[in-house]
Structure 1
Amino acid sequence: MGTGLMIRVVVVDDQTLVRQGITSLLEVAEIEVVGEADDGRAALGVISSTGPDVVLLDLRMPGYDGIWTLEQLREQDMAVPVLVLTTFDDDALVLDALRAGARGYLLKDVTLDQLTHAVRTLADGGTLIAPSITDRLLRAIRSGPSPTGPDASPTQDLTDRELEVLRLMAAGFGNRRISEALFLAEGTVKNHVSSILLKLGARDRTNAVLRALHDGVLR
C-alpha cells in the first residue's frame, strides 16, 4: 500500500443487509468498497475484476462457502489478503480458515475501530487474529502433536534479529512498518521473513506466528 492511497476492499457475505452495513461503516472510515459478492463463486469474479487490497470474507454461506473461496484463491494464485469476518468462532473452523490462507480472523461483534485497524493491518502486509480466538487456538494446537516431533523446536534456530522481526509480525506489522521500527531496508526485512518461514516450516506469516506462540517464543 502506498502512503495516502485509499484502501480498496471487497465484501463477501450472503446477507445483503450485512454487506450494506459493512460498506457504509467502511466508507465513514475512508475505506473504499469496490465490490460485493454473496457467495464464493461470485467473489472470485469480483476479486479478479477489481483487484482489491483486502477481502472481507464470511465463512458460512450457502453453496460456495468461505473455506472454498480461500482454497480457490490459493489455487488460482490470487494473492489478496483475506480477513475472515464471521459470527462463528469454532476452533476447527478457525484452523481451517488459517490453513486455507486467511491472514486475519475477526468476529462480527467488533467495533468499527477494530475492523478498520484490521483492514489497514492486512493491507500493510500484516496479520491479525482476535485475541480471544488466539487463546483458544493455542490450546487446540497444544492439545495435538507437534508437526515436527515432540522434542523439536525450530524457533531455537532463529537469530536475535529474526526474533525481533517475528515479534513485530505477531503485533500485526507489515514489512514496511517493521523496516521503519528496526531501521532496516524493506528488502532486508523481506529476507528475514523468508528465513523465518523457512526455519519454522510455515506457509505464511500467520502460521509462523502461531508456531512461535506454541513454542513459547512469543508471550
Structure 2
Amino acid sequence: MSMLTPSGMGGKYRITGNAYPRMRRPRRRGRIVAAVVASVVVLGLFGWGAVQLFHVFNGGDGDTKANAGPQNAPTCKPAPTPTHTAKLAPLPQPAGVTVNVFNATTRGGLAKSTADELAKRGFKVAKFGNAPITYDKKVTQSAMVVAGPAGEAAAREAGTQVGGATVKIDPARKDNTVDLMIGNGFSALATPADAAKARVVAANPPPPKPVCTVPTTPATKPKG
C-alpha cells in the first residue's frame, strides 16, 4: 500500500490505493457530430443519384433515348408468298409475246405511241386503246402488266420495257396474251439498254423481302 500526501495539504488528505486515477482528454463532441452529419449527407447524395439513374435507364420520365429505342423498333411482316410456286419459265423473245396496250391515264395518245414503239421492238401488238374500267385512272405506277398463269413469262418480258412496271397474275385468265396498262407514273418506254438490264433481273427475280414498318413516337404531354 502506497500513501501520498499532496503538498500543502498538511497531511489532512491522503490518496491511498494500488492504482492512480487516469487523466483523460475531454471528448471533442462537436467534431464527432459534424463528421456524422457529413457522412449522412454524402450517403443521401449517393442514394439520390442512384434513384435518378434508375429512372433514366428505365424510362421513368417517358422522354429518354434509352426508352425510345425499343418503342420505335421496326415491325416486320413475313415476305409475301410468290405468285408462282413452280420453277419460273424462261423468258420468251419479244416476237413470242402478244401484248394489248391500254391507256389508264387522262393523257391522250399514249396507247398508240407506246404500241407503235413496242411493235418496232419486235412485240406483237394485238390492240390498243383506253383501259377497261377496272384499271382506268387506277394505275399509279408507270405501268401494270396483267396476264394469266399461262402468260406469266410473257408478262415479265413485257414488263422489262417500262421502268418500274409491276406484273399482276389473274388466275381467271386462260390465254397467254398480256395487257400493258399505262399508269400515271409513265413517261416513256425504257431505253433498249435499260430494257436489256431489266431482262436479266426478270429472268432471275430475287426473293420477296419482308415488309417492315417503323411506328411513330407518340407526342409527349408537357409536364406541369
TM-score of the superposition, structure 1-length normalised?
0.30
Larger Cα-atom Rg: 2
Indicate the structure with greater helix content: 1
Structure with higher strand content: 2
**What TM-score, normalized to structure 2?**
0.29
